[in-house]
Amino acid sequence: MSPDLLRAYLLGQASPEDCAAIEERLFADDTFEALLAEAEADLLDDWARGRLTPADAALIPQRFPKPKRDLARALLLAAKPRRKPLHPQRWALLAAAALLLLAVALFLRPGPPRVLIAEIRLQQQATRGTNPPLYRMQAGRRIRLSVPKLDDGFLDWKLQIEPGAPIAAEVANGRVFADFDLPDGRHQLLVSASRTSGGLLELVAVYPFELRRDVLQKSPLEK
Amino acid sequence: MTKDGLDRLLALLSADPERAAELYLHLQRKLTRYFEWNACANAEEFADEVMDRVARRVAGGEAIQSPVSYVLGVARRVLLESKSKMLLLPLEGDVGAVEEPTQEATLARLDDCLASLPPESRAILIEYYSAESGERIRIRQEMADRMGLTANALRNRCLRLRRNLEECLQKRAAGDDHVA
């Protein structure tokens, strides 16, 4: 049985015939049980990394209990190098250095600030088997990515385009948005939030999309 | 479950009492996995319910040709009933009851749990599960070759380690909640 089929079963998306075949093997074959358990672990690890489609990612909290999801997220964090907490004295030095840099930057600021000219409003969608939506715009400008606020129970929304770090998002009029400098190509916007202020971030949605800048053609998305 | 029902069920599984007990526990574990993978929050209770029903039917004189197929059939019925009764609980049972742990708290617990493993096991677990999806098969096969194990043996070892880690995290989280 293919990994895709096992994954579909675990997400509750397999056909009744496939479910019956999988369940019969589960009871008859211990090696198959281990394969299914591994498919479960890999599925949760992919979810923690933001590698699932939005439709599949949305099923994870309904299908798997919190301890399994916590473990997948913790293993992902454990595999990444972690920064050591800074000594208070070093914090003070860094803060002073940051203030100095800010003062220099304001004094030496070359010309007007960069202007945001395009906003992409990403809609939640299932992308299984299809290309991500393509957004075209004028070259060389920043963009604002905006997505619907899917759940009112969350606080501290963060948006992230890998490999960049998550950035704090603004929330207004039922939408979550942030500005990015992005190269052309395919990207995935990861939307995370926590249920309590400063709490553990949960992946809420993933939006794959493709960005292409045209030098001559003016984008209809430009304001 | 009555003693008569249990005795008859064990006799149906095997004439050898020790083997029968092993098969009973084996079936119960499979049932728990079946219900877990069908998004049942209380999988162990559902597994017990299935074994109870099968024991009652055996005690009632029902002829059963293949105990495993029969158990699976009863499990499907129990799952169906649970769905129709809306007993299939959402897995977010802890919403509102316990404050979400901070990322640091989860990591600290994971560090404690990982520290309780031998260093070699810790390294194996991290390497096995840190592979990205496109490289998993290759990296895991290379690990198995390097360790002189079959892919199956390495898989089983890592699944055991992961399950132990999950149980450890749960225990520590429960302990922290208790302290708080």
Question: Over the stretch A136-149, which tens digit does the pLDDT of each residue have?
Answer: 666 555 677 877 77
Residues B163-174 pLDDT 10s: 998 888 888 877
Residue (of A21, A200, A138) closest to B72 by Cα position: A21
Residue B37 has pLDDT above 60, yes or no: yes
Question: What's the rounded Cα separation, in Å, for the pair B89 and B137?
Answer: 35
- For residues B80 and B21, membership in a common domain is answered with yes
Mean of the per-residue pLDDT values of chain B: 82
* Domain membership flag for residue B54: yes
* Domain membership flag for residue B97: no
Question: What's the rounded Cα separation, in Å, for the pair A177 and B114?
Answer: 37
When pLDDT is averaged across residues A162-179 and rounded to a whole number, the result is 81
* Domain membership flag for residue B92: no
* Domain membership flag for residue B89: no
Residue (of A182, A96, A174, A168) closest to A137 by Cα position: A182
CA gyration radius for chain A?
Answer: 22
Residue B87 has pLDDT above 50, yes or no: no
Instruction: Classify A61 in phi/psi space as left (phi over 0), alpha (psi -120 to 50) or beta.
Output: alpha
- For residues B116 and B77, membership in a common domain is answered with no
- Give all strands of the β-sheet with A116-121 in edge-to-edge order: A116-121, A142-148, A175-180, A170-172
Question: What's the rounded Cα separation, in Å, for the pair A188 and A203?
Answer: 13
- Which among A33, A41, A200 has the least Cβ separation from residue B162? A41
* Domain membership flag for residue B161: yes
- Which among A35, A41, A67 has the least Cβ separation from residue B170? A67
- For residues B130 and B167, membership in a common domain is answered with yes
Percent of chain A with pLDDT over 90: 17
* Domain membership flag for residue B96: no
Q: So what's the pLDDT on residue A9?
A: 95
Beta-strand relationship, A185-194 and A202-214: antiparallel
* Domain membership flag for residue B111: yes
- For residues B23 and B60, membership in a common domain is answered with yes
Higher pLDDT, B60 or B144: B144
Residue B30 pLDDT class (50, 70, 90 cuts): very high
Q: So what's the pLDDT on residue A120?
A: 61
- For residues B56 and B128, membership in a common domain is answered with no
- For residues B41 and B11, membership in a common domain is answered with yes
Q: Domains of chain A: which residue ranges?
A: 3-79, 116-214
- Test B159 with A51 for CB contact under 8 angstroms: no
- For residues B53 and B112, membership in a common domain is answered with no
Question: What's the rounded Cα separation, in Å, for the pair B20 and B7?
Answer: 10
Domains contained in chain B, number = 2
Q: ipTM greater than 0.85, yes or no?
A: no
Percent of chain A with pLDDT over 70: 66
What is the phi/psi pair of residue B31, to 5°? -65, -40
Q: So what's the pLDDT on residue A178?
A: 85
Higher pLDDT, A215 or A205: A205
Residue A26 pLDDT class (50, 70, 90 cuts): very high
Contact status of B94 with chain A (Cβ, < 8 Å): yes
Pair A193, A151: CB distance under 8 Å: yes
- For residues B159 and B116, membership in a common domain is answered with yes
Final residue in a domain of this structure, among B54, B84, B114: B84
Residues B97-102: contacts with CB under 8 Å, at least 24 apart: B98/B177, B99/A196, B99/A199, B100/A194, B100/A195, B100/A196, B100/A199, B100/A200, B101/A70, B101/A199, B101/A200, B101/B173, B101/B176, B102/A198, B102/A199, B102/A200
Residue B76 has pLDDT above 90, yes or no: yes
The architecture that CATH gives domain A116-214 is: Sandwich (2.60)
When pLDDT is averaged across residues B54-81 and rounded to a whole number, the result is 89
Contact status of B152 with chain A (Cβ, < 8 Å): yes
- For residues B71 and B35, membership in a common domain is answered with yes
- For residues B127 and B166, membership in a common domain is answered with yes
When pLDDT is averaged across residues A94-121 and rounded to a whole number, the result is 46
Residue B73 pLDDT class (50, 70, 90 cuts): very high
Q: So what's the pLDDT on residue A90?
A: 58
- Which among B39, B106, B159 has the least Cβ separation from residue A63? B39
Range of the domain at B54: 3-84
Question: What's the rounded Cα separation, in Å, for the pair B51 and B56?
Answer: 9
Residue A69 has pLDDT above 80, yes or no: yes
- For residues B69 and B11, membership in a common domain is answered with yes
Residue B90 has pLDDT above 50, yes or no: no
* Domain membership flag for residue B36: yes
- For residues B130 and B78, membership in a common domain is answered with no
Residue B29: which residues within 8 A CB-CB, separation 6 or more?
Answer: none
* Least confident segment among A39-48, A170-179, B58-67: A170-179
When pLDDT is averaged across residues A30-36 and rounded to a whole number, the result is 91
Contact status of B76 with chain A (Cβ, < 8 Å): yes
Residues B98-141 pLDDT 10s: 334 456 677 788 888 888 888 888 889 888 988 887 789 899 99
Pair B119, A25: CB distance under 8 Å: no
Final residue in a domain of this structure, among B84, B116, B139: B84
Contact status of A155 with chain B (Cβ, < 8 Å): no
